[in-house]
């Protein structure tokens, strides 16, 4: 580095040696989402962790800068149907990220209800929807590499 009144300042790397900025994976790069499998009974092994099955739309959130896409499990962009959720996802302090979750509408008891979800979307009442995120597939705000 170069000393500047007792402060060490690092020289900038030449452009060709600078690390590339990581970008959120595209839907095709993810290669498909894990889907639930219907079985007769849950596994009995204590190593298994169970998730609640929500009755909603499986949705992938892809954020790149200030652009947020909310994609169906088939890769269709439904961002226009989920404007309020899209606005909330923009607030996440990461330049790039990909999250997997379920968008649901819940009744007064907190239970997901698919008919309620369809009704809310039909009436353009997306502010009543919740996005339950269960997987963080990619983020520039943090890395899990040290935990692998």
The catalytic residues are: 53
CA atoms of 131 and 113, how far apart (whole Å):
13
Q: Are 106 and 114 in contact (CB under 8 A)?
A: no
The token duo for 23 is: 């970008």
Nearest alpha carbon to residue 70 among 44, 99, 28: 99
CA atoms of 44 and 115, how far apart (whole Å):
32
Alpha carbon distance, N-terminus to C-terminus of the chain: 33
């Amino acid at each position: 580095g170069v000393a500047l009144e007792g402060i060490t300042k690092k020289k900038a790397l030449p452009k060709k040696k600078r690390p590339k900025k990581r970008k959120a994976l595209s839907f095709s790069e993810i290669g498909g989402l894990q889907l639930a499998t219907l079985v007769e009974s849950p596994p009995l092994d204590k190593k298994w962790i169970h998730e609640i099955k929500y009755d909603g739309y499986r949705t992938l959130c892809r954020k790149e800068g200030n652009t947020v896409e909310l994609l169906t499990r088939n890769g269709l962009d439904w961002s226009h149907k989920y404007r309020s959720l899209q606005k909330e996802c923009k607030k996440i302090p990461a330049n790039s990220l990909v999250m997997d979750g379920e968008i649901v509408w819940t009744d007064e008891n907190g239970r997901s209800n698919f008919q309620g979800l369809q009704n809310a979307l039909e009436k353009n009442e997306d502010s009543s929807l919740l996005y339950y995120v269960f997987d963080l597939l990619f983020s520039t705000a943090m890395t899990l590499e040290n935990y692998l």
